[in-house]
């Protein structure tokens, strides 16, 4: 079956511009996560959705970052006034969202964002 997909695979933008990154989770997965992976580092948690609501956004670095999931499926990560330090690979993961067990998270291939 189809896995998690992310678009675009690469995005190059200029400092100060606005970008949107899209994640399409596995069908039927209610939980969706965004992570950011900087060069030479492991992924770091940004935000978690259960259904349509952001259940935990404690990983968002500042108020330039925002994410939505209006219909409980596709999610969009939005970054305003991009800075060079935002350059990274942005990863999306989804899971079944069953609270009584440890969900396995399935990751997409990521979007590589480069801010010039």
Backbone angles phi, psi at 86, to 5 degrees: -80, -10
Q: Specify the residue for token string 């209610």.
A: 30
106 binds other proteins (CB under 8 A): yes
Q: Which of 3, 16, 28, 61 binds other proteins (CB under 8 A)?
A: 3
Q: Which of 19, 25, 32, 48 binds other proteins (CB under 8 A)?
A: 48
Interface size with other proteins, residues (CB under 8 A): 30
57 binds other proteins (CB under 8 A): no
* Dihedral, CA of residue 52, residue 56, residue 62 and residue 63, to nearest 10: 30
Q: Which of 35, 82 has the CB closer to other proteins? A: 35
43 binds other proteins (CB under 8 A): yes
User: Are the CB atoms for 93 and 105 separated by under 8 Å?
Assistant: yes
Distance CA 6, CA 98 (A): 23
Q: Which two tokens stand for residue 23?
A: 């994640």
114 binds other proteins (CB under 8 A): no
Q: Which two tokens stand for residue 45?
A: 């948690």
Which positions lie near other proteins, rule CB under 8 A?
3-4, 31, 33, 35, 40-45, 48, 50, 55-56, 91, 93, 95, 97, 99, 101-110
């Amino acid at each position: 079956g189809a896995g998690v997909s992310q678009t675009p695979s690469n995005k190059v933008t200029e400092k100060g511009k606005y970008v949107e990154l899209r994640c399409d989770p596995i069908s039927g997965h209610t939980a969706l996560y965004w992570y950011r992976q900087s060069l030479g580092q492991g992924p770091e948690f940004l935000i978690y959705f259960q259904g349509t609501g952001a259940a935990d956004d404690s990983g968002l670095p500042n108020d330039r970052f925002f994410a939505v999931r209006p219909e409980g499926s596709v999610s969009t990560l939005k970054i305003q006034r991009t800075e060079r330090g935002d350059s990274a690979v942005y990863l999306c993961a989804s899971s079944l969202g069953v609270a009584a067990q440890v969900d396995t998270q399935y990751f997409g291939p990521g979007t590589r964002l480069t801010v010039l």
